[in-house]
Structure formats: structure tokens, C-alpha cells
Amino acid sequence: MGGALAGLVILVIGDSQMMNMLPSLHNALETDGAVVHSYAVCGSTAQDWVVPGIASCGTLERQDKAAAVLDQKSKPTWNISTLIAQHHPNLIVVQLGDTFAGFGGQIEQGWVHQQITALTGKIAASNVSCVWIGPTWGKNAGPYHRTDAEVQAFSQLLSTSVAPCTFINSTTFARPGEWQTRDGGHLEPDGYRKWSAAITATIVRLKGKAG
């Protein structure tokens, strides 16, 4: 298969944002030549991918070219080490943060660092390259109280915390308010398509820099 990402096996994990974005991101990465395995758990934090718990509001997964599978029942979440052993990825794409960002309140930096390092430690031990997708703009209203200032602050925190993963700053892809949301936090379908395209283009550029 040709394409800029030919030869890559990509493992994608994320929270409810990824549940919405998974179809378009999976397709975009696949169109560029990668073999993709995508998993999303509504409401998940980084720790949930290290010490699996129970997904209370749904999961979505898609294996390569198979149809996506949505499960809205309570079920155990996935373990990152098990997924790595199963799929042998060359690259892991992590989209996590909205659930533990503390939007509408105080960012608990110590707890956030603990969440992140629990996951990046497992990824580092597997010796697999990774990128971590930061949050995109929301709306300064709605149930998620997602202010522009908080998105910027949390993006900055992630940028200094997710090593050895490369941080992808989603706030650079659009202006605040440019991508419409349906609830203040989750985007409309067009926004997810544009976010997916920007993430994929960034991954292509990073692969080019790696040789």
C-alpha cells in the first residue's frame, strides 16, 4: 500500500472526543497508508489505560478495515500494554486530557502529571514512538465550562508533561470558536473532520522529519 504513512502500524487511544473523531481520524490515517487500530473509552483518563476500570458511558473500537464496534454497555476498559503486545504498533496516538483537565475549576497539576506519567511510562517501556494530541477549542459556555484560557493553560501543561511522546498542539489548527461545538466541548462533525485532517497532516510531517 502506498501513502506517506505506508509501513506504519498505528494504535489510537482516546476518550469521548475520540469516540466522535474516530471514524474520520481512522480513515485519514488509513488513506495515507497506515494500518490502524483505534480504541476510545468515554470518560477515560490516562490512568484508565494503565489500570483498567469499567467504562460507564460507552466504548468504540475499529480494527484496521473492519467495521467500527460501538458498545454502550458497562464493560472493562483496555490495557495499553495488552494492546501494544497485540498489535505491535510503530506509533501510538494518544488523545486524552479533557476528562482530567479540570475545565471549569482548578487544574490539579500533580494529579495530572501522575495520570500522564503512568501512561507514558508504559509506552516508554515498550519502546514505541508516540504523539499526544492536546485539546482543541470549545465554547466559553455550556456544561463543560471550557474557557479559551483553560484550554491554553492545559495545552501548555501537556506540552511539558507528555515526553517521550511528541505533543500535538490542537489550538494551532483553528481560531477559538472557528469549529462549532454541539455542547460547548464536543465538536460538530465538520470540526472533527478538520481536526482529524490536521492531526494526520502533522503525523505525516513528523514521519518525514524522522526520515
pLDDT, tens digit, 9 for 90 and up, residues 3-40? 999 999 999 999 999 999 999 999 999 999 999 999 99
For the cut 80, the answer to whether the pLDDT of residue 129 exceeds it is yes
Average pLDDT over residues 111-130: 94
The SS3 call for residue 161 is coil
| 102 vs 82, residue with greater confidence | 82
**Average pLDDT, whole number, for the chain?**
92
Structural fold of domain 9-209: Rossmann fold (3.40.50)
Mean pLDDT check: name the lowest of 41-45, 118-122, 127-131, 166-170. 41-45
Mean pLDDT check: name the lowest of 25-34, 95-104, 159-168, 174-183. 95-104
For the cut 90, the answer to whether the pLDDT of residue 61 exceeds it is yes
Whether the Cβ atoms of residue 204 and residue 165 lie closer than 8 Å to each other = no
Please state whether beta strands 9-14 and 35-41 pair in parallel, antiparallel, or not at all (unpaired). parallel
For the cut 60, the answer to whether the pLDDT of residue 85 exceeds it is yes
Local structure of residue 67 (DSSP, 8 states): P
Helix/strand/coil (H/E/C) assignment for every residue in 86-153: HHCCCEEEEECCCCCCCCCCCCCHHHHHHHHHHHHHHHHHHCCEEEEECCCCCCCCCCCCCCHHHHHH
The full length of the chain comes to 211
pLDDT of residue 49: 96
Pairwise CA distance, residues 71 & 184, whole Å: 24
Q: What crossing angle do the helices spanning 189-209 and 16-31 adopt, rounded to 10°?
A: 50
pLDDT of residue 179: 94
Where does the pLDDT of residue 55 fall: very low under 50, low under 70, confident under 90, or very high at 90 and above?
confident
For the cut 90, the answer to whether the pLDDT of residue 68 exceeds it is yes
For the cut 80, the answer to whether the pLDDT of residue 102 exceeds it is no
For the cut 60, the answer to whether the pLDDT of residue 211 exceeds it is no
Cis, bond preceding 23 (omega within 30 deg of 0): no
Q: How is the chain split into domains, by residue range?
A: 9-209
Where does the pLDDT of residue 144 fall: very low under 50, low under 70, confident under 90, or very high at 90 and above?
low
For the cut 80, the answer to whether the pLDDT of residue 57 exceeds it is yes
Query: In degrees rounded to 5, what are phi and psi of residue 61?
Result: -140, 155
Where does the pLDDT of residue 142 fall: very low under 50, low under 70, confident under 90, or very high at 90 and above?
low
Q: Which three cell numbers stand for residue 63?
A: 480494527
Residues 6 or more apart in contact with residue 91 via CB below 8 angstroms? 8, 9, 10, 11, 34, 128, 129, 130, 131, 203
Amino acid at the residue 126:
S
For the cut 50, the answer to whether the pLDDT of residue 131 exceeds it is yes
